[in-house]
Amino acid sequence: MAVTDRNHAVLDKAFFEMPVTFAAGQDRVTLTDTLSGITIPRRDSKVSGGNFEILVGFEVTPAMAQFNRLGKRFRPNAGGQAPQVASAGP
């Protein structure tokens, strides 16, 4: 999680771990956590929060980043299996 000044410099950044377990056949989970330790550096109450962005993301390995760049996650054969094609003939 990071605080930036409107998509420019990172002003504050912190890492948080959130273990996730997926049940067999489940492709989504919902988790909620309360985070502390991030500071939005407003000088005073006259500085608008609109001057800042809060970015949340995942830390991935270089191999995971390369896989994501290739776009394979969004292809029907992302898991290495050929897509199933239904035949329309008799």
Q: For 45-63, write each residue's pLDDT tens digit.
A: 888 888 888 888 888 899 9
CA distance 29 to 75: 22
Considering only residues 25 and 89, tell me which one the structure prediction assigns the higher pLDDT: 25
Give pLDDT, residue 81: 55
10-13 and 53-55 strand pairing: unpaired
Q: What average pLDDT does the chain have?
A: 78
Whether residue 21 has pLDDT greater than 90? no
| Token pair 């809060």: residue | 54
Quick check: helix, strand or coil at residue 41? Answer: coil
**Mean pLDDT value of segment 22-36:** 85
Length of the chain: 90
CA-to-CA separations, 82 to 17, 63, 68, 72, 88, in angstroms, rounded: 35, 22, 19, 13, 18
Q: Which residues pair with 53 in a beta bridge?
A: 4
pTM of the model: 0.52
Q: Confidence class of residue 31 from pLDDT cuts 50, 70 and 90?
A: confident
